[in-house]
Amino acid sequence: MNGMERLLLHALTNGMELSWLCAWATFATIGTMGRPFPLVEATVGFVGGFVVTRLSRGRGWRVIWVAAVQVAGLLGASAAILHGFYYAGRPLLDRAWLLDFLGEARSAADWLLLTLILAWAMAFWIGGARLAVRPLGYFVVCTRFDLGLAAFVLLFLAKLLVALNGGRLEDRISPLFLLPFFVASLLAIGTIRLRSDGRKAFLSGYRGLGVFLTFTVGALLVAATLTLFSLPYLTLAAEAGLVALKGAGVAVSPVLLWVLRRLFAPQTLRADPSSSPSGHDLPTFPSQGPESWWMALVEKALLWSAGILLVVAVVALVGLCLYLLLRFLWSRTPTRPDHRQPASSFAWLRRLWIFLAGLRARLAGVRCARDGYRALLAWARRSGLSPVPAQTPAEIGARLQQRFPRLRAEIGSIVEAFNEETYREVVLPAERMAEVRSAWRLVRSPRQWPARIKVLWRGE
């Protein structure tokens, strides 16, 4: 697929998504506020989200910069939509309308309508951004066509429901988007279908399963059609059965109640109630004397200990969440679009297991030179220097020594111990391991954080 065909497909898919989004936005604003949605500004916001995402994707930027660009674009699109809705007669770049908008007094209903407009602005921007990362595949485009068709069906059902309830909705704009939706959708599907040179057949080894599933789906469709056709007769039969069941229940209800009481409440069938136990039969407990002072002290100590542990646990959890958030925001996006298969829904369990295993290894400490080298690699990765798999430990150590000259001796000690233990296949003595642990403590010391932040800021 050449560049012109890909550009045409992008334009057609943009038209597909914009058609049903504009139809629903127009219907919602006319139904609630009596005025149409600013479609020109909304289209610009949708296309802007698409273009910004396409330009920022696959460039290796940090996540925080990508998020900042997306937020800035979303704010600009929201401002343009608000301007087109409330202050269409004023210039867009004139900040007087923005000051008037921010200083205007609003009621609860006005705030609700403003929230609706901002929600639609976010829907247009996010729709464009999501379309930019969606692959141009046949099944993907067909799925989006089904979604848009369902959106139009729901829209017409909503308008029919309003008309049946006696309401009047002067909406002549939203039905006009149905024709461009069908034209753009069918052209996009036809273009992708014609460009597909593959042979259409069942997968190898799945022909029997495909035939069985096809027959099953066909049988279910036939059964559903017959059920819907005979639904009035089934309703009459159910009503007749309910009347018969009520008449039979009245006849057998005394016997049925006696059987149920006999099975589940036999004590209610006794004629004489059992006599209540006398007060002399109650067990007596010796009265407790006044609590001693040391019991009260132990109770207070336990309460304070539980409170302190709870506070420490909450602070640790908040700190861990902030650390993971900052680590994600400071990570880099892939330098190329990822065309691998989508991750499994249980991939987060594997990541959690890897995190817990790494946490357990950190708590266990440096038991051998291999542990010290692994910890050094993780430390370098968190410092913004991801190790290159093709480099040897000596080359990785030289690279780290160049970036952290004050830790030259410590990094060299850890790398030399790893090479000696791995390639010579010897067990290092206790004195040598003590040197490795001491070097690792100095490397991971908080005193090295300014240098690590400096390297992290500069990047690779």
Residues in the chain: 460
Max CA pair span of the chain? 99
Residues 129, 48: Cα–Cα separation, whole Å:
8
Residues 245, 237: Cα–Cα separation, whole Å:
12
Q: What is the pLDDT of residue 140?
A: 86
Q: Is residue 86 domain-shared with residue 170, that is, in the same domain?
A: yes
Kindly list the distances between the CA atom of residue 349 and the CA atoms of 142, 226, 354, 356, in Å, as whole numbers in the listed order. Answer: 32, 45, 9, 10
Name the domain count of the chain. 3
- Which pair of structure tokens corresponds to residue 176? 């006009």
Q: Is residue 30 domain-shared with residue 113, that is, in the same domain?
A: yes
Q: Is 338 left (phi over 0), alpha (psi -120 to 50) or beta?
A: beta
Q: What is the pLDDT of residue 288?
A: 47
DSSP state of 332: B
Q: Is residue 146 domain-shared with residue 97, that is, in the same domain?
A: yes
Is 391 part of any domain? Answer: yes
Is 95 part of any domain? Answer: yes
**Cβ contact 125:46 at 8 Å:** yes
Domain boundary, last residue among 197, 229, 245? 197
Residue appearing with tokens 């004139």 = 94
Q: Is residue 219 domain-shared with residue 170, that is, in the same domain?
A: no
**What is the overall mean pLDDT for the chain?**
77
Q: pTM higher than 0.75 for the full model? A: no
Q: What is the pLDDT of residue 203?
A: 59
Q: Is residue 58 domain-shared with residue 92, that is, in the same domain?
A: yes
Is 169 part of any domain? Answer: yes
Burial 67-105 (b: 16+ CB within 10 A, else e): eeebeebbeebbbbbbbbbbbeeeeeeeeebbeeeeeee
Lowest mean pLDDT among 11-25, 162-176, 336-350: 336-350
**Cβ contact 404:447 at 8 Å:** no
Q: Is the pLDDT of residue 151 over 70?
A: yes
Q: Is residue 175 domain-shared with residue 236, that is, in the same domain?
A: no
Segments of 232-283 assigned E as strands: none
Domain boundary, last residue among 166, 197, 228? 197
Share of the chain above pLDDT 70, in %: 72
Q: Kindly give, in sequence order, each residue whose CB lies less than 8 Å from that of residue 132, ignoring residues fewer than 6 positions away.
A: 49, 50, 51, 53, 54, 57
Q: Is residue 101 domain-shared with residue 229, that is, in the same domain?
A: no
Q: Is the pLDDT of residue 198 over 50?
A: no
φ, ψ of residue 106 in degrees (nearest 5): -130, 150
Residues 437, 178: Cα–Cα separation, whole Å:
70
Residue appearing with tokens 């202050």 = 87
Q: Domain range spanning residue 420?
A: 364-458
Q: Is the pLDDT of residue 346 over 60?
A: no
- Which pair of structure tokens corresponds to residue 269? 């069938």
Residue appearing with tokens 């817990």 = 356
Q: How far is CA 140 from the centre of its chain?
A: 20
Is 344 part of any domain? Answer: no
Q: Is residue 256 domain-shared with residue 368, that is, in the same domain?
A: no
Residue appearing with tokens 């999501």 = 130
**Cβ contact 7:51 at 8 Å:** no
106-121 tens-digit pLDDT = 888 888 888 888 998 9
221-269 tens-digit pLDDT = 656 655 655 555 566 667 666 776 676 666 666 766 676 666 666 555 4
Q: Is residue 375 domain-shared with residue 241, that is, in the same domain?
A: no
- Which pair of structure tokens corresponds to residue 61? 């930027």
Is 441 part of any domain? Answer: yes
- Which pair of structure tokens corresponds to residue 173? 């704009």
